[in-house]
Amino acid sequence: MQGRIRKAVSGFYYVESEGNIYQTRGRGNFRKQNITPLVGDTVIFESTNKTDGYVLEVLPRKNQLVRPTVANIDQAVVVTSLVEPNFSFNLLDRFLVTLELNEIKPIIYLTKVDLLENVELVQEIVAIYEKIGYPVISATSDNNSIHELEETFSGQLTVFMGQSGAGKSTLLNEILPSLDLPTAAISESLGRGKHTTRHVELLEVANGLVADTPGFSAIDLATIESEVLPRLFPEFVAIMDQCRFRECKHLNEPDCAVKEAVESDKIAFSRYEDYKQFMSEIENRRPIYKKKNKN
């Protein structure tokens, strides 16, 4: 039989197939083959009943994320707090670059709008990211923003991601109150939220599947190469063929269309500054050497 893994807990994989959920384990040789089934995987499995089955094969994935650990993702809602924790262009751009690398459509969802004193910040965020092509939804007290978000779920596998304390579980509880997902207050000593989600599970919401996943506050760029980074900024890609050099890195090269666009405010200065920082991190990271196996 073929199905999709909806939940993975303590070595058990809960596979949905034709409306039924089957509790399964992985094949014994998966470990030898270095195969770990993930939530979201499409798998071939066998089962004589709903509580005793085995995953036989993991079918090819179109993408996967390490944190959150989900495969075959269509879109990601980047839940972004404006205050407590404060908004960060740099952190948001790190999430967006990661999603671009994995060909996952981003949706930016702004929370704690009512606590923001500088209302012009919301306008600035919307202006920058919608111009690039990223949808931006601002939380509203009348739940219109919830309905707007739900309309994107149909037929999609959606992950929620963002900084700890940004309100991912709170948002999902508002979308589907019966979930009753645990939430935690912001830690006053650390200034960030506690991790409250214990495992990854795909939940049926608005004719789609949504993963509730642990939040985290930082993303490293360890899997991104310097020659790839420029292609993870859509506004760069749109004009990079106008640069003098085909492999332009948009840093020190003359006649660079991207730098000219930044100077003329056609590309946001904050985005370009984050790009330069990311490039510096990538080019200055230490190489990782694998240890030789001892015979």
Q: Residue 250, annotated ligand binder? A: yes
Nearest Cα residue to 229 out of 206, 248, 213, 208: 248
CA distance 78 to 226: 24
One-letter amino acid at 269 equals F
Q: Residue 165, annotated ligand binder? A: yes
Q: Residue 215, annotated ligand binder? A: no
Q: Residue 277, annotated ligand binder? A: no
Q: Residue 162, annotated ligand binder? A: yes
CB 153 within 8 A of CB 207: yes
Q: Residue 136, annotated ligand binder? A: no
Residue 194 burial (CB < 10 Å; 0-12/13-18/19+)?
Answer: middle
Q: Residue 78, annotated ligand binder? A: no
Q: Residue 213, annotated ligand binder? A: no
Sign of the Cα pseudo-torsion (239, 240, 245, 250, in order): positive
Q: Residue 193, annotated ligand binder? A: no
Residue 21 burial (CB < 10 Å; 0-12/13-18/19+)?
Answer: middle
CB 87 within 8 A of CB 118: no
Q: Residue 256, annotated ligand binder? A: yes
Q: Residue 112, annotated ligand binder? A: yes
CB 4 within 8 A of CB 40: yes
Residue 227 burial (CB < 10 Å; 0-12/13-18/19+)?
Answer: exposed
Q: Residue 248, annotated ligand binder? A: yes
Q: Residue 180, annotated ligand binder? A: no
Phi first, then psi, for residue 32 (nearest 5°) are -65, -35
* Binding-site entries: 111-114, 162-170, 243, 248, 250, 256
* Binding-site entries for Zn(2+): 243, 248, 250, 256
* Binding-site entries for GTP: 111-114, 162-170
